[in-house]
Chains A and B, each alone.
Chain A
Amino acid sequence: MYYTPTKTTAPEREPQRTTKTSQPLDGQRIARTILKHALLLIGGLIVCVPLIWMLSAAIKPPAEILTIPVEWVPSQPRWENFSEALATAPFVRYFFNSVWVSSATTFMNLLLCSLAGYGFARYQFPFRNALFLFVLGTFMIPFQVLVVPLWTMMRELGLLNTTWALILPGIASAFGVFLMRQFISQLPEELMDAARIDGASEFGIWWRIVIPLSASPLIALAIFIFLESWGSLLWPLTVITKEEYRTLALGLTEFQSAYGTQYHLLMAASTLLFVPAILAFFALQRYFVEGATITGING
């Protein structure tokens, strides 16, 4: 046993030892490690336990949900909670509304923000800096200022109770233009000149050179916009009064208002919202973490 460590692990251990000797006593270090892991574990429980409680309540009979002490495992799983929740409100419809609204909003943001970011980063046209400030200025407008006038505009356009009302006011964002401009201005000029010599149009350079090279900010922006649109409540609550156009966030909120005491159905509905979100998160988690980092550093 003593001789089994391979040669590659042995030299790695050596420098670690030397750096660690400069740190406090071994006992103190062990105590610190235990404290660190205890803290992380408590944090993990604080994140997990509410969600596990929701999952377990989703398959409980109503009487077992609010009990002290908590009964974590239902006496008999009540799977009908899901079918009853789906029969009470059209969550599948809400889901597809949300998918459509968030996808369309995200697509338009990627298109418009990358185009504008490219324009601001790479061209010297009159009033460029003034226009860029004009765009950035919208960053600090709280949505609450826009909600009343935008509602009257949507009413005048006859778009109340349509998904267009949900999409239209959010198809571009100052943050997106800023993020794309920062990234595109760092791309090497030679690439674009080479494309010009090969006869590419200015639009062709954007499509063939800039877009393929901007995958990481585009993914970050897509995640940011999609999540924001997916979770938004204030605007859907204002322009949507008909059930068939509700998004998931609005649908769940209205479901709570109407059936707030039907705890088992409420938690089943919440679980129906939770499962696709968490599956998407684990499938794309690398991009989520990267995206959050990029948006944070550039902000």
Chain B
Amino acid sequence: MNLYRRRNLSGLVFVLPVVVFFLIFRYYPILRAAELSFQDWNLIMPPEDVGWENYQWILENERVQRIMLNTIEFVAWYAGPNLIIGLGLALIFVQPFRGRGFYRTLYFVPIVLSEALIAVVWRLLFNQRGLVNAMLDPFTTGPVPWLTNGDYAQLAVIIVAVWRTFGYYMLIFIAGLNQIPRDYYDAAKVDGANSTQLFWGITFPLLRPTTVFVLVTTVITATQSFSTQYVLTRGSPNDATNVLGLLVWQEGFASRNLGRAAALSMTLFVVLLVLSAIQLIALRSRRTDTEVTIEA
């Protein structure tokens, strides 16, 4: 008994380094960020308590609100296309065909390149006289102002972000599809189900864990997006492509308003906590759903 207890205590020793690390480099900094969000600090003067002033600024400042709306727009247009393109391609890739391995590898290439590298190249591709406008030239009356017009710039950022990651989400959907037992399809085919019925009756409900995972991952990734915007546009023109993840950095390290930056980052944190809570609820309801489907 004593030996058993001693043995189990060695488990505590194994997890201790990681626990101490998270305490120092994750939990303690959050507390400091929370404290700082109620202060005014420009790095030169000592921090000064200002109460809820920074949060009030977030609620009242029109620029911040516009950037929050941009963030929602970016998140939706990152998550949606990744989900649809990823799933659509995965449905093609589950059946064997000539060149399958080649295309699967090819689509995966952009994810191994850093966001900075990709954004540097695409910035030039979206130049007035860059490749994109050269390709569109026969169909348009003049060059498209990709990075200088707000609406086009937001579209450009989304294209670059989705271009980099759709292959990754495709792979995850392929893995999810491969986990669905073949027998279900065979049984349904015997009963005379067509391919549309197979998709909505078997594939879609049984793929739900994967779909939820992709949805949650894309939303969380996009909410924190920084590099693509920073390199491609710096939030320009006129904050049309600015997002919360970039604004935090600009407020903190370009404008030296560390208190405001902290308040903004706490807001981002709360948003992500809410999204994670929604994920937990979605995952729970999924579990009961699948059980029902299998029993039925």
Contact = CB atoms under 8 A, between A and B. Distances in A.
Given A53-B131, A122-B11, A238 B253 contact: yes
Contacts of A146: 25-26, 29-30, 33
A152 to B, nearest CB: 7
A69 B134 contact: yes
Contact of B130 (A66, A172, A227, A278): A66
A153 interface: yes
A253 B261 contact: no
A142 B114 contact: no
A206 B25 CA distance: 26
A146 to B, nearest CB: 5
Contact of A142 (B120, B133, B272): B272
Interface stretch (B16-24, B56-64, B76-84): B16-24
Contacts of B206: none
A253 B230 contact: yes
Contacts of A280: 112
A240 interface: no
A47 B106 contact: yes
Contact of B103 (A43, A116, A144): A43
Interface in A216-243: 227, 230-231, 233-234, 237-238
A227 B11 contact: no
A142 B269 contact: yes
Interface stretch (A3-11, A81-89, A132-140): A132-140
Nearest to A140: B276
Interface in A50-68: 50-51, 53-54, 57, 65-68
A1 interface: no
Interface stretch (B2-10, B148-156, B285-293): B2-10
B131 A238 contact: no
Contacts, number: 270
A124 B18 CA distance: 17
Nearest to B226: A234
A203 B10 contact: yes
Nearest to B178: A293
A221 to B, nearest CB: 13
A119 B15 contact: yes
B127 interface: yes
Given A238-B249, A256-B231, A270-B120, A153 B29 contact: yes
Nearest to B92: A36
B124 A263 contact: yes
Interface in B92-109: 92, 97, 99, 103-109
Interface string B225-249: 0110011000000000000110011
B54 interface: no
Given A281-B109, A292-B171, A270 B29 contact: no
Contacts of B17: 112, 115-116, 172
A57 B172 contact: no
B10 A145 contact: no
B171 A289 contact: yes
The A contact surface, by secondary structure, is: helix
A116 B92 contact: no
B26 A249 contact: no
A27 interface: no
Nearest to B247: A144
Contacts of B113: 231, 273-274, 277-278
Interface string B212-231: 01000100100110110011
B33 A149 contact: yes
Contacts of B116: 231, 233, 249-250, 252-253
B50 interface: no
Contacts of A22: 189
A128 interface: yes
Contacts of B199: none
Contacts of A227: 111-112
Which among B14, B176, B265 has the greatest number of chain A C-beta atoms within 10 A?
Answer: B14
29 contacts: A33-B97, A36-B97, A40-B103, A47-B107, A47-B167, A50-B122, A66-B124, A66-B127, A67-B134, A68-B133, A70-B131, A112-B17, A113-B18, A119-B13, A122-B11, A123-B8, A123-B11, A124-B8, A138-B27, A144-B249, A145-B265, A146-B29, A202-B14, A230-B114, A231-B115, A252-B117, A256-B123, A281-B109, A296-B176
Given A119-B15, A123-B8, A267-B121, 6 more contacts: A57-B124, A68-B134, A69-B134, A119-B14, A233-B114, A250-B116
Closest 3 CB pairs of A and B: A123-B11, A119-B14, A231-B114
